[in-house]
Structure 1
Amino acid sequence: MNSNYYKLLLLGGAVRLYFSQTSLAPLIGNRVEFATPLNSFKRLQEGVFLLQQGVDPYRGDLVHESPLLLKALSGILINYAQVLPLLYILLDLCTATLLYLLGITFVKQKLQQQKGECEDYAKDTEELQYNDEDKSHIAELVLLAYLFNPLTIMSCIGLTSTVLSNLLLALILYSMVKRQLLICTVLLAFETVRNLYPFVLIAPLILLFARRSVPMGIAIFMIFVTSCFAVAGANFLVMNSWNYLDGTLGFIFFFRDLQPNIGLFWYFFTEMFEHFRTMFLITFQLNATVLYLVPLSLKLRKEPLLLATVLIALMAVFRAYPSLGDVGFYLALLPLWRRCWKFMAHGFVVFTFFLITLSMMGAFWHLWIYAGSANANFYFGATLAFSTGQIFLITDLLFAHVKREFCLYNGQKIMINGEEARILLE
């Protein structure tokens, strides 16, 4: 870790600390773009209070955090509530550090991989290959992308539990590149019992550790399932009841709260006839989980970390209760694929989508809820466009990766009948 790392980390912490002391912090904590029924700090407070009073917080439909976290945070919330913003900032800085170390380790592994493959590379592909400078440069880009992204900053100062989810995801990815199977599997099980959707990350784990060994793949899956049951059992010991399963995983799957957010569920299920709900609920949940899992796993079987990145991005788009903090996390992973950026053709379009739609969300929410001069269609239109921009970004990254792989072995200039040909993916 060089001096730039410490400077950036201190600056990122200072920015978060400054904004956490302003009136922006409670405002962000109430914004539907950042605070959802799953990650809202107010709901977490309510759950801790009910737990301390000996009341089951999952009897109602307000608390949806896991019992283990409620128990872990109860002492801090009750006795040291004033230092809670500092705790969230420290957790966010830990996430940034893990992503920085992830970047360094990832580039080292890429350089080692290239040593065995470089003989097969075309001559004009030096700019597409990782080099020694990337070890520090890419890691710093990842650090910058996380520490100074307004989405992650505001998610932190709003005290959303997305900060905890981002930390767990960073730990999972770092454990992946360090080849620590047991730690990675246990962490994934814990996050799966909390938020359901991360279970799809078992696919890159199996691809990374099984190495085409079917028995090993089955063993990893069984370890994951066993870990999930162990975490569920630990939650049961805290509550002495299984009610939390319906209040957490059941709440997510059945989508009981139609509060608006940046996702695609709420508007559709608000407008839909009730007797169609089950069919479309299953369809939407399949789209958010396993629909893309097999084809992406087959295509990216040699790049487990890229597969994990894409799956995390798709979760942020299609999950039932997404927040902008989820988007900020996967955006910080994009610098890992800096050598693909040359082939990403929609950067300006995606940036424009993000800039305009994020600006429109706040304006349309005010017009709809406060001014009464708009309706839900306005706000959903902005969130739909935002999701479209994210899909453009994800597909652009996938196409760029495929083009880079092709050019590494075939050269960047393909000549047909003496003329340079364009590489198109259809």
Structure 2
Amino acid sequence: MDAKFIKLLLLGGAARFYFCRTSLGTVIGNRVEFATPLNSHKRMQEGIFLLQNGIDPYQGDVVHETPLILSALSGLFRNFPQFLPVFYILLDIFTAALLYMMAQRFVRKKQDQQNVETKEYATDTTELQFSGSDKMDIPELVIVAYLFNPLTVLSCVGMTSTVFSNLFLAAFLYCLTKGLLLPCLLILAFETVRSFYPVVLLAPLLLTFSGRSIRSGFLISLLFAACCLVISVANFFVLNSWNFLDGTLGFIFYFRDLQPNIGLFWYFFTEMFEHFRIMFLITFQLNATVLYLLPLSIKLRREPLLLATILVALMAVFRAYPSLGDVGFYLALLPLWKRCWKFMAHGFVVFTFFIVTLSMMGVLWHLWIYAGSANANFYFGATLAFSTGQIFLITDLLFAHVKRDFCLFNGQKILIDGEEAKIVLK
């Protein structure tokens, strides 16, 4: 293995271990920006305690992790609680390693594709093409963006179950680039049963493996449904009860907990009249899942990994219980599209949005909850601006990809009546 790769992993692990030995973990575990009803470490502990004492964890409305996860971690939580931080750190390091290997395979595939198409490229597009140095540069940027992003570091330090979600998503993307159909299906099915929204990643999976064949796509979809059923049955045998479905998927869909977070659901459903609730629940959940799925799949049918990146980002923005750990994960995927950065026009705006809103969230939360000199509108304003910044980033990446793709085949300088033309999307 590359020595620099090993050093980065060790340094990322050391940074996490250092912060775990401070009181920061407890603070982060209580912050609504990182800990939600779905990923809270305290709720995980409660669920494992109830399971070990023969009590159904899903009879109340506290535990929302799947029985398989609770059962798998019960021994570690009960017998070796002092090693829990190390366990979470190791999982996060493994996630970074998977992203690194995924990025390596992605760059190799793009270079192979580029070697086939290079005769069709315009003469002034060398800087838009993948170069030999990208084999190392892009994977290193990906691993650095994950290991040393404060959002992912703090999510790990707070021992949120977002660490598990990031691991499953990284494993899915790695298997997707490697062409492993069955592991892709199993990982995606497991994460879908856990958190509902990853079901949309079936679209890039179908684009990768179906070969544009309707029959193959239908068979893969049936196999995915079978995997979901098998995992659901496995969860059933842990408790001999189907209550976990309502405690996990039902809890997410019906949005029962109005605890503030960085998302868009909580404020709207706090203020809304109850008799409109079902209609807007369906509307919000459609927005978070299938609304953008078809147009994006059609446009990005030749770029399944970019489609997966965009869908993961949209999930982080529009899901019912988002956390900053989800945001940190998709930010680590952006270096994959390094060759599109030239056309990203809103970098400064997005950076400013992120810095200002992330800084203001803590301040406004303190003013609202502790000082009593603000209200929910202040905090929601910061989270709304943060979501707006993320949307700017996603659309900017999409626009940059379209412009790069156009310029590769048509050249960067297009003259109309002797003047340089500008590419404008309408």
Give the TM-score band, short-chain normalised: over 0.9
Letter of the 2:313 counterpart: A
Q: State yes or no: 1:251 paired with 2:228.
A: no
The structural deviation recorded for 1:425 is: 1.5
Kindly report which structure 2 residues correspond to 1:14-413, keeping only aligned pairs within 5 A, or say none: 14-413=14-413
CA distance in 2, matches of 1:131, 1:238: 51
- Deviations 1:135-182 (Å, cap 9, x if unpaired)? 110000000000000000000000000000000000000000000000
TM-score (norm 2): 1.00
**Residue matched to 1:10:** 10
Provide the rounded CA distance (Å) in 2 between the counterparts of 1:345 and 1:15: 33
3-state SS of paired residue (2:321): coil
Shift of 1:37: 0.1
CA shift, 1:422, in A, is 1.4
Deviation at 1:421, TM superposition (A): 1.3
Instruction: Kindly report structure 1 stretches of 4+ aligned residues shifted beyond 6 Å.
Output: none
| SS state at 1:275 partner | helix
Gaps of 5+ in 1: none
Cα RMSD over matched residues? 0.5
Q: Deviations over 1:326-385 (max 9, x none)?
A: 000000000000000000000000000000000000000000000000000000000000
CA distance in 2, matches of 1:3, 1:422: 44
Aligned to 2:332, what secondary structure does the other structure show?
helix
Q: Secondary structure of 1:317's match?
A: helix
* In structure 1, C-alpha distance between the alignment counterparts of 2:236 and 2:226, rounded to whole Å: 15
SS at match of 2:329: helix
Query: C-alpha separation between the residues in 1 aligned to 2:132 and 2:88?
Result: 34
Query: CA separation in 2, counterparts of 1:40 and 1:110?
Result: 39
Give 1:3 shift: 1.5
- Distance in 2 separating the partners of 1:187 and 1:399: 30
Distance in 2 between residues matched to 1:163 and 1:179, nearest whole Å: 24
Paired residue type of 1:323: S
Following the alignment from structure 1 to structure 2, what is the Cα–Cα distance between the partners of residues 293 and 102? 23
Q: For 1:244, what is the secondary structure of its paired residue?
A: helix
Matched residues in 1 for 2:4 and 2:413: separation?
Answer: 38
CA drift at 1:423: 1.4
CA distance in 2, matches of 1:171, 1:8: 19
Distance (Å, rounded) in 1 between the aligned partners of 2:36 and 2:256: 13
Deviation at 1:424, TM superposition (A): 1.4
Shift of 1:419: 1.2
Structure 2: unaligned runs, 5 residues or longer: none
SS of equivalent residue, structure 2 residue 420: strand
- Distance (Å, rounded) in 2 between the aligned partners of 1:320 and 1:205: 24
* 1:400 partner SS: helix
- Residue 309 of structure 1 and its aligned partner are, at CA, apart by 0.3
Return the alpha-carbon distance in structure 2 between the equivalents of residues 288 and 423 of structure 1. 30
Residues 16-57 of structure 1 deviation map (CA, whole Å, 9 limit, x = unaligned)? 000001011100011000000000000000000000110000
Measured after TM superposition, the shift of residue 223 of structure 1 is 0.7
Deviation string 1:264-285 (CA, Å, 9 cap, x unpaired) is 0000000000000000000000
Distance in 2, matches of 1:290 and 1:212, equals 20
